[in-house]
Chains A and B, each alone.
Chain A
Amino acid sequence: MNKEVSIRQIAYTYLFLSLSPILRQIPSALAGEAGKSGYLSPLWSVLVILPLTGIVIILLREFPGLSFYEIMEQLIGRFLAKLIILSYLIWILLSITAKINAYSLTMQFTLMPHTRSNFFMVILIILVFHALMRGMKTIFRFSEFTLGPILVLFGILFFCALTRLRMDYLLPVSTINLPTTMTASKNVIAVGGNIIIVLFFADKLGITISKQQMRKLWYAAVVFIVLSFVITIFTFGITGADLATNLPFPFYITVKSISFFNIFERFEVLITLICILSDFIAVCVSAIILYRCFMWLFQLTEIGYLFVPLAMIVYYLTYFISSTQFEFDFLYRYFIVNSNMIFQYIIPALIGIIGLLKRKKIAKQY
């Protein structure tokens, strides 16, 4: 069976689409909820993200060549599986809307404050359509190709920013603050749960997945946690937690003060570009998952005709869901974070537990 995508590509894509929340929402949310000690929250998220990665790997190993829907169909029956896929469909539709909103707000905050948001939305929808026409392989290969240089850029930025870190912005951390850092870690966990995209493409990975390939998912989860931790430390250490709480994109302000030996400056434009690319990939991958949900729910064989109606719904939903930065912050903190916990952790965990209990009774398909 030919593999359309590989675990490596999915791992890279997972990191790529997690970049914009790591740069935007995570530092701001951690500063707001945990204050100066918020940079410890990504470390607490290890306790949840790594077990989720383990559950995903167990499901891939126990049900080789089956997609998330097919796994659920085997475990809980067709009706419940379709009900859960319907709820995932609605969740993904709303999260695409939120991502497009976040993207247009980022563009207005950083580069073009006088441009209307519908301009950015239309451009993004056209680019997403163009990418989807090329197929999912193109999107995953783009992530695979682009992530390396981005991580190198982050390495250079961190090296240049070391002298600007203020330890009084980071220390001391008292034990009184530790419980708040634990509760604030849900903001990191809500982004780290994106690893479940593997399950939606599990039928494209082939029947046999080696241990070496599975290890890539572990590496991706660890890199995500390290990246969240380092970016939060640098944001708090340079900008300060108090200012980071009130900014929609604190890392952008942090990078404004970084220069490469006073020769190269204005790295913030590159950071905005990284966020745009990350949002673009996130919308593309979410759109592909949305299409797959429609295929599973309604047993469709072709889905190209759904692009225009869905684009129309997503476009107008962005106006009705949230229209300002404050509304988006409220949406993110109270809806997106909590719904991500349900759809990225609770449901896959339940499916994983049912899978372990019913393992011997289910005939494996090869």
Chain B
Amino acid sequence: MIYIFGVLLIYTLIREKDTLFRKKRNMLLFLFLSFLGGFLGVVHMLSPHVSSLVYIVEKYIK
């Protein structure tokens, strides 16, 4: 799924390049959110069975 998202990100970058390059803010926001999503995707790809946040919090509370 991360590969599909990667292709879609590149497609968005090419299609919206005028909007993204018009203001630095647009490009920075796009890159920041893309990297965040990519990071989450890579973590999920490498460790698909990592404990969820709720599991950790529940264990900590109990």
Contact = CB atoms under 8 A, between A and B. Distances in A.
Contacts of A322: 52-55
B52 A312 contact: no
Contacts of A312: 5, 9, 33-34, 37-38, 40-41
A316 B58 contact: no
A320 B33 contact: no
A170 to B, nearest CB: 33
Interface in A313-340: 313, 315-317, 319-323, 327-328, 330-331, 335
A316 B53 contact: no
Nearest to A121: B1
Contact of A305 (B5, B12, B50, B54): B12
Contact of A300 (B26, B33, B38, B44): B26
B58 A302 contact: no
A302 to B, nearest CB: 5
The bracket for how many chain A residues form the interface is 20 to 34
A305 B20 contact: yes
B52 A316 contact: no
Given A317-B40, A320-B52, A327-B52, A309 B16 contact: no
Contacts of A319: 44, 48, 52
A308 B5 contact: yes
A304 interface: yes
Contacts of B19: 302, 304-305
Interface in B24-38: 25-26, 29-30, 33-34, 36-38
A243 interface: no
A316 B40 contact: yes
Contacts of B1: 118, 122, 315
A306 interface: yes
Given A305-B16, A305-B19, A327 B30 contact: no
A307 B11 CA distance: 12
A298 interface: yes
B34 A321 contact: no
B36 A313 contact: yes
A272 B5 CA distance: 29
A310 interface: yes
Contact of A309 (B36, B52, B54): B36
B9 to A, nearest CB: 5
Interface in A258-314: 294, 298-300, 302, 304-313
Contacts of B11: 308
A316 B29 CA distance: 19
A327 B26 contact: no
A305 B52 contact: no
A317 B54 CA distance: 12
Nearest to A319: B44
A308 B53 CA distance: 24
Given A309-B30, A327-B52, A300 B37 contact: no
A7 B44 CA distance: 42
B40 A309 contact: no
Given A305-B19, A312-B41, 19 more contacts: A298-B25, A298-B29, A300-B26, A302-B26, A308-B8, A309-B12, A309-B34, A312-B40, A313-B33, A313-B40, A315-B1, A319-B52, A320-B43, A320-B50, A321-B53, A322-B53, A323-B52, A327-B52, A330-B58
23 contacts: A118-B1, A122-B1, A298-B29, A300-B29, A304-B16, A305-B20, A305-B30, A308-B12, A308-B34, A309-B30, A309-B34, A309-B37, A310-B37, A312-B38, A315-B5, A316-B37, A316-B43, A322-B52, A322-B53, A328-B54, A330-B58, A331-B54, A335-B54
